[in-house]
């Protein structure tokens, strides 16, 4: 830990320099008390924002040409700087989010871990996608030219901080890390619910830019008024892609702005998911199994006050005595759970409205509820029940309620279950609990779940996302705006790259990854065959 804690800047950081804003100020709030937290942070005007995007555009050429080692070292330095300021970052994030020390300490480790993961991706260089079709001058009826392909950065990326992950999906989160790894400068729009946390992390990134003598426009960090500054950022012609985690309304608003530009750009938005969990009959065989499933459900639902994009909003439970026993166990366990402080007063109010609306629907019953927490904005977790036919016929039952509220759906057959699942929108996850006697039913459901979700889980619960090479944190709309991508894991880098082919370009003029001598030591696909560096 650092012995001297960094001071808050109170302002945006544009290309490494504090920029006092001209559009008023914002403060963070302690959601446990609704008290304002000092200092206030000044908000940029649209005109001031253009300085950040112009600096990012200027930085692109030099940053995108970095060799693997200095490029990776820069990303690793961000992680090291965050760890050095880790105690202050966690303390401020606790105050601004209401999340626990344990949760935020783990989130800090996840954030620095994914930065180092992308540094390893940069060193290995597979994301550069080098393909070489050597010239075949003797080929008939026409000779083949020398054609070489590589992936290049799209350009400056706008990243929006998320409310529920003030570290892992915010200023230095996965969108920023993957954009940096792709060679893209980044302009982060700080989330106004945790401005102090975002400022401390922005200082860690800015210090890394300076330590490695990079163009200062590689990173800027901006505060702005509401949706106005975000839309202005997406509309700016220097920005070439967007990373966003948040509500469906917010993501679609940015996507509309991006699509309306003279040059439309991609928006990679993670938005809305209710993450169905399916308990097949074999999984409920035995009291111990039932209790364990109910305990797992309650823990997944209430962790971080349910404010996780993978929280189980729907749990499908078979009709009959075993399903009844599961509900009884859940009611007993949840009755001992107290509400936890939610991220903001507004989020808590939205949760209350959503849970109230769900409970008012015809044929929906409340079956389990905890108690309110001792702090502000800590409503009691609650679970409702409906039948599969009610789910099929009522779109209100499909809505995401961000927080600890969920719906148990009772089904009478695999066919009825499949019909209910068919009516769901796209999801981040779908989970099956089963035993070997359930394999035939699962085999019928898996093709359907593939069409509905980005990650299929057997056993366990959907909350918790492992950061690695094989993970997919994405899914069909509205889980994300582009089902072909992931916002977590090394594949996330592909969102910010595009292919360029070089035909008959002299070796002296080729970029380093494509030169005949392979100076960066990359694996390359030559004439269709993957060839290691020494080959």
Q: HEC string of 488-528?
A: CCHHHHHHHEEEEEEECCCHHHCCHHHCCCCCCCCCEEECC
Are the C-beta atoms of residues 229 and 12 closer than 8 Å to each other? Answer: no
pLDDT tens digits in sequence order for the chain, 535 residues long: 344 567 999 999 999 999 999 999 999 999 999 999 999 999 999 999 999 999 999 999 999 999 999 999 999 999 999 999 999 999 999 999 999 999 999 999 999 999 999 999 999 999 999 999 999 999 999 999 999 999 999 999 999 999 999 999 999 999 999 999 999 999 999 999 999 999 999 999 999 999 999 999 999 999 999 789 999 999 999 999 999 999 999 999 999 999 999 999 999 999 999 999 999 999 999 879 999 999 999 999 999 999 999 999 999 999 999 999 999 999 999 999 999 999 999 999 999 999 999 999 999 999 999 999 999 999 999 999 999 999 999 999 999 999 999 999 999 999 999 999 999 999 999 999 999 999 999 999 999 999 999 999 999 999 999 999 999 999 999 999 999 999 999 999 999 999 999 999 999 999 999 999 999 999 999 999 999 997 5
Q: How far is CA 261 from CA 160, 253, 254, in A?
A: 19, 13, 11
* Alpha carbon of residue 530 to chain centroid: 31
DSSP state of 395: G
- The verdict on whether omega for the bond into residue 344 sits within 30 degrees of 0, i.e. cis, is no
Residues forming a β-bridge with 530: 525
Identify the three-state secondary structure at position 191.
coil
Residue 491: closest CA among 129, 68, 67, 71: 129
Instruction: Please tell me which residue in 309, 327, 400, 425 is annotated as part of the active site.
Output: 309
CA 206 from chain centre, in angstroms, equals 22
* Domains of the chain (ranges, CATH numbers): 12-271+485-495 (3.40.605.10), 277-458 (3.40.309.10)
User: Among the options 57, 76, 107, 270, which is catalytic?
Assistant: 270
Report the 3 state secondary structure along 417-482.
Answer: HHHHHHCCCCEEEEEEECCHHHHHHHHHHHHHHHHHEEEEEECCCCCCCCCCCCCCCCCCCCCECC
User: Is this prediction's pTM over 0.85?
Assistant: yes
Q: Is the dihedral of CA 179, 183, 184, 187 positive or negative?
A: positive
* Two structure tokens written together for 233: 């950022």
Annotation says 184 is catalytic? no
């Amino acid at each position: 830990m650092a012995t001297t804690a960094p001071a808050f800047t109170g302002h945006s950081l544009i290309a490494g320099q504090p920029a006092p804003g001209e559009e008023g100020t914002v403060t963070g709030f302690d959601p446990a008390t609704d008290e304002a937290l000092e200092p206030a942070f000044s908000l940029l005007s649209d005109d001031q924002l253009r300085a950040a995007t112009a600096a990012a555009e200027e930085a692109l050429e030099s940053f995108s040409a970095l060799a693997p080692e200095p490029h990776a070292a820069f990303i690793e330095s961000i992680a090291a700087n965050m760890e050095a300021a880790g105690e202050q970052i966690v303390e401020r994030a606790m105050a601004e989010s209401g999340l626990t020390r344990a949760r935020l300490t783990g989130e800090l480790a996840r954030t620095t871990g994914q930065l180092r993961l992308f540094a390893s991706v940069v060193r290995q260089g597979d994301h550069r996608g080098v393909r070489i079709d050597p010239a075949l001058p003797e080929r008939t009826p026409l000779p083949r030219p020398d054609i070489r392909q590589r992936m290049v950065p799209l350009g400056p990326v706008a990243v929006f901080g998320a409310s529920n992950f003030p570290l892992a999906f915010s200023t230095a989160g996965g969108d920023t890390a993957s954009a940096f790894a792709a060679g893209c400068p980044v302009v982060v729009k700080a989330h106004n619910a945790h401005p102090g946390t975002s400022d401390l992390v922005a200082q860690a990134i800015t210090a890394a830019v300076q330590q490695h003598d990079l163009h200062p426009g590689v990173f800027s960090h901006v505060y702005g008024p509401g949706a106005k500054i975000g839309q202005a950022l997406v509309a700016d012609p220097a920005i070439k892609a967007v990373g966003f985690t948040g509500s469906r309304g917010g993501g679609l608003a940015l996507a509309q702005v991006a699509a309306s530009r003279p040059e439309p750009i991609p928006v990679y938005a993670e938005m809305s998911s209710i993450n169905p969990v399916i308990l097949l009959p074999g999984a409920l065989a035995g009291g111990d199994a039932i209790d364990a499933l109910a305990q797992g459900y309650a823990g997944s639902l209430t962790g971080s006050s349910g404010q996780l994009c993978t929280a189980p909003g729907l749990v499908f439970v078979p009709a009959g005595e075993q399903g009844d026993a599961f509900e009884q166990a859940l009611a007993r366990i949840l009755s001992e759970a107290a509400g936890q402080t939610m991220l903001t007063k507004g989020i808590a109010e939205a949760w209350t409205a959503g849970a109230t609306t769900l409970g008012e629907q015809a044929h929906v019953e409340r079956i389990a509820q905890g108690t309110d927490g001792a702090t502000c904005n800590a409503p009691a977790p609650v679970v409702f029940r409906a039948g599969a036919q009610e789910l099929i016929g009522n779109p209100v039952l499909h809505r995401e309620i961000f927080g600890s509220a969920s719906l148990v759906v009772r089904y009478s057959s695999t066919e009825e279950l499949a019909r209910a699942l068919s009516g769901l929108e796209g999801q981040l996850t779908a989970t099956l609990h089963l035993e070997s006697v359930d394999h035939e039913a699962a085999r019928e459901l898996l093709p359907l779940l593939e069409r509905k979700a980005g990650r299929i889980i057997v056993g366990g619960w959907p909350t918790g996302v492992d950061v690695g090479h094989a993970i997919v944190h994405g899914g069909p709309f509205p889980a994300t705006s582009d089902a072909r991508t992931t916002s977590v894991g090394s594949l996330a880098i592909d969102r910010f790259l595009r292919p360029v082919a070089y035909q008959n370009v002299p070796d002296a003029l080729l970029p380093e990854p494509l030169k005949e001598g392979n100076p960066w030591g990359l694996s390359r696909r030559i004439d269709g065959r993957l060839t290691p560096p020494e080959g």
